[in-house]
Structure 1
Amino acid sequence: MQHAIPLRRALFSVSDKTDLVSFARFLVEHGVELLSTGGSARALADAGLPVIEVADYTGSPEMLDGRVKTLHPRIHGGILGIRDNPEHQRAMEQHAIPPIDLVVVNLYPFEATVARGADFATCVENIDIGGPSLIRGAAKNHAFVTVVTDPEDYAKVMDDMRANNGATTLDLRRRLAAAAYARCGAYDGAISRWFQEQTGEENPRHIVFAGRLRQSLRYGENPHQKAGFYVHGLSRPGVANARQVQGKELSYNNINDTDAAFELVCEFNEPAVAIIKHANPCGVARGETVLDAYTKALACDPVSAFGGIVALNRRLDRAAAEAITGIFTEVVIAPDADDEALAVFAAKKNLRLLLTGVVADTTTPELTIRSVAGGFLVQDRDAADLLSADLRVVTKRAPTEREMADMLFAFKVCKHVKSNAIVYVREGCTVGIGAGQMSRVDSARIASWKSQEAAQAAGAAEPATKGSVVASDAFFPFADGLLAAVEAGATAVIQPGGSVRDDEVIKAADEAGLAMVFTGLRHFRH
């Protein structure tokens, strides 16, 4: 097996023509003959480069609307022939099959076609057949053939050729072969996932997930863990496809927390702000303006908000930007920001500002994935939403209109709090959050305690949980959790219901004069 292989003949068949001409010109200058399919051949010829069309090279015209063009022995034989195998060499000479040393292919834009909402037939027509065959053949024979599937890799090939008198090294060919198989796997995965969605198959026998590296991260959750950030072509609006305007490189934890913050704030139609710490909200509020919402969200837990993530569902203005930069904040994510807000953030060079362009549709189904030892779990994202008409009043007292609005708000927030989750809300803003406890009563007490601390820090006479409503992500298994909420000053409760002790809990609510509604819907978040 040779280590350095001179390039004498290259085959191009690309849909993405980024840097195509400059790369091809470099090859011509190094004595490489160019073969190409129709569209690529025209682009090369228009640039004044000598190119042989594949149809002329094989003696077989493109047919079936271009579906058949490179599927020919003269093409695949030139790619797959083992150069130091005498039998292969005799067969290639007998059938006049010259070797092809470089295969440059990127595939029909299937993912982009699906993403723009094309119809079924158009999506199917954008499934590449010949391209993956060329790529796989070249990658298999990487001992002798260089394969390139991404314009970003053109520079690697040129650098290798410059360093090796027009040849490529085995090390580069192996790395490009690995990238080629990954690209084919990702492409086939996108196609299979799309077909499964079209057929409505819930749990197919085989499932494939793939992504493209967006960022090599410094480390993972902790400095001793390696990590990377991958995105897929069908990304919903959010951290994966946001534009980073300024600030330091995002870390693994930044990305995870920012995703949690933006997903939460997109739940609301009115101006809203969510402040997140360690993937849990420490303050969420809606308001007349984003400044109003931020001020209310910060008041819930100003201590935990230090070094947190701030998400908005409206355009950032100067007033909000000045308030947000008033304390140390790691990341801010919003649909947009005006020039004055950008100027305010520019003074905080390390603060990361991400703009998404739009908010996410939280009702859109999407699969979520979690790894376990030896496998992974797949489920629909929790896109369930509630209306007041969905609720069942189970106590003697019905909630007031204000309590009902606050309960619906609280239950939306509860969806994004680690279970066991308790959320107190008053007048459209959280006033106490208890997250991730093994006991629901502990979550209720922690939320109350944090509200008391916030009241003391603000110089308030009493905690904001007095006169609040409380939401629980799952049923109260005993009355003690509900009684802890009563002690905190809650007047109304929203919970899924469904405990064997529901009657006991309802009785305790009635005795305390609470209004309570059952949702019939649980929001566990582990």
Structure 2
Amino acid sequence: MELRYGINPHQTAAPAAPVSPGKWPVRLVHGTPSYINLLDALNGWQLVREASRSQGRLAAASFKHVSPAGAALAGPVDEVTAELHGVAGDTMGALASAYLRARDADPKSSYGDFAAVSHPVDAELLTGLVCDGIIAPGYEAGTVGRLSWKKNGRFLVLEADEAFTPPPREAREVFGVRLTQERDQEPLSPALLDDNLGGVLPEAAAADLLLGLAVLRYTQSNSVCYVRDGMTLGIGAGQQSRVDCTRLAGAKVDSWWLRRHQAVRALAFRPGTRRQDRINWQIRYIEGDLTQEERTRLTQTLAAPADDLTSPQRAEWRQRLTGVAFASDGALPFRDNVDHAHRHGVRYIAEPGGSIRSTEIEDACREHGIILALTGLRLFHH
């Protein structure tokens, strides 16, 4: 498979080749991938395949720079998401609902993403969305032709082989050193959540935690994930400090939740304002630290003035969010992770356990009324 270039355009790339001659996990249907396109596709496909198989539901993910911006199972598309994208949420197909729910976790980052879906695709899925490519196990008649015009004909379409079994060992080369390890094939089953403290996990919470664990397995470490109702609300990836992941992902949860506040929904954009511009302005309005230049541009973009969201309004609205699940790819080293997670409606946590301060983590969960599941399984991904 020919690649356009390496990780950066100034780096040439040799053609991609399967480890076992002739045994490809994917087939190129349209376009020419870059090095990162292929990494996004392969990671994204593994995530949605694992999430779908473990939950028995259709799954989708939105990938950027080899980590998911969002992931979700098929389910209801709420009024806010449907209104923003100009769709009828109650009539959407299951796969389209999963992908739209996945993008809604971080719609700013999902602009120009790589889509991964667990089941065959129809043309409805990517209508009106800016996306660089897609990987799926199949495409309904006419779908590839309709997708091929996107990005001026450069849209990338890959077809995954559902029957493909990867080799038991994997390797990579870094600075002249070849590293080889056993592939991580530990199943993500409900049994991982049996060792819990603070009560019995509701079925829906267990499903959310399992989705979170599947997401973390394919997210650059350190990583944490907030999940609710079968969709991610915030993913923190690739931070050196775990609490920074928790806070970063928590800020995304706040942004997702505050986009449902009446003050944000009331922002009246001038006719002709592009959907992504509306999304980006909503998020900047929520973040509340607009520069003077941004304030001027926002005023010019709105058909009517908008008042700032006050701190009391924000605090009162945040307190309404509850029932959120939180998963961590590694042991929580300090209780500050639990304290920050609790601020974002977290009632359920899954983490490996086994840190030297695990007793403090358990105490913090008891204080906040959080059910803690100790999986005993670390899911680092590098």
TM-score, structure 2 as length reference: 0.74
Aligned equivalents of 1:338 and 1:490: distance in 2? 39
Matched with 1:427 is 229
RCO higher in structure (CA 8 A, sep ≥6) = 2
User: Between Structure 1 and Structure 2, whose CA radius of gyration is higher?
Assistant: 1
Residue 512, structure 1, aligned to residue 372, structure 2: no
Work out whether residues 48 and 116 of structure 2, in 8 Å CA contact, stay in contact via their aligned partners in 1: yes
The percent identity for this pair of structures is 34
CA RMSD in angstroms comes to 2.3
Task: State yes or no: 1:412 paired with 2:189.
Answer: no
Q: Give the deviation of 1:233 after TM superposition.
A: 5.8
Is 1:356 the counterpart of 2:356? The answer is no
Q: Which of the residues 54, 60, 63 maps onto 1:276?
A: 63
1 CA distance for matches of 2:358 and 2:243?
16
Paired amino acid for 2:8: N
Q: How many Å separate the matches in 2 of 1:236 and 1:464?
A: 54
Name the CA distance, whole Å, in 2 between partners of 1:408 and 1:251: 31
**Equivalent-residue separation in structure 2 for 1:419 and 1:235 (angstroms):** 31
Do the aligned partners of 1:451 and 1:463 also contact (CA within 8 Å) in 2? no
Contact map agreement 1:397 1:513 (CA 8 A) in 2: no
CA distance in 2, matches of 1:222, 1:463: 43
2:7 to 200, 214, 221: 221
Asked if the contact 2:351–2:375 (Cα under 8 Å) also holds between the matched residues in 1, the reply is yes
Partner deviation per Cα, 1:181-212 (whole Å, 9 max, x = no partner): xxxxxxxxxxxxxxxxxxxxxxxxxxxxxxxx
What's the CA shift for 1:360? 4.9
Paired residue type of 1:344: R
Structure 1: which amino acid aligns with 2:38?
A: I
Distance in 1, matches of 2:49 and 2:381, equals 17
Using the TM superposition, give the Cα deviation of residue 462 of structure 1 relative to its aligned residue in structure 2, in angstroms.
5.0
Please report how far the alpha carbon of residue 308 of structure 1 lies from its aligned counterpart in structure 2 after TM superposition.
0.8
Matched, 1:302 2:107: yes
Q: Secondary structure at the match of 1:255?
A: helix
Counterpart residue number, 1:266: 49
Q: What secondary structure does 2:104 align onto?
A: helix
**Which amino acid letter does the alignment assign opposite residue 245 of structure 1?**
V
Distance 2:154 2:318 in 1: 37
Deviation of 1:433 (Å): 0.3
Q: 2:341 aligns with which of 463, 481, 485?
A: 485
**1:443 is the counterpart of 2:245:** yes
Q: Is the 8 A contact 1:434 1:446 kept in 2?
A: yes
Q: Is the 8 A contact 1:335 1:359 kept in 2?
A: no
Residue in structure 2 matched with residue 243 of structure 1 by the alignment: 27
- 1:231 is aligned to 17
The 5 A counterparts of 1:132-171 are: none
Q: Distance in 2 between matches of 1:235 and 1:503?
A: 50
SS of the aligned residue for 1:500 comes to coil
- Structure 2, unpaired ranges of 5+: 76-93, 266-316
Give the CA deviation at 1:485.
Answer: 0.7
CA distance in 1, matches of 2:359, 2:66: 34
Secondary structure (helix, strand or coil) at the match of 1:385 reads coil
Aligned-residue offset at 1:409: 1.4
TM superposition shift of 1:491? 0.5
1:521 aligns with 2:377: yes
> C-alpha deviations, 1:234-255, integer Å up to 9, x for none?
3798xx55333323x2111111
Selected match of 2:356 from 481, 494, 500: 500
Q: How many correspondences in the alignment?
A: 304
Offset at residue 493 of structure 1 (A): 0.2
Q: Give the letter for the 1:498 counterpart.
A: G
The equivalences for 1:97-116 within 5 A come to: none
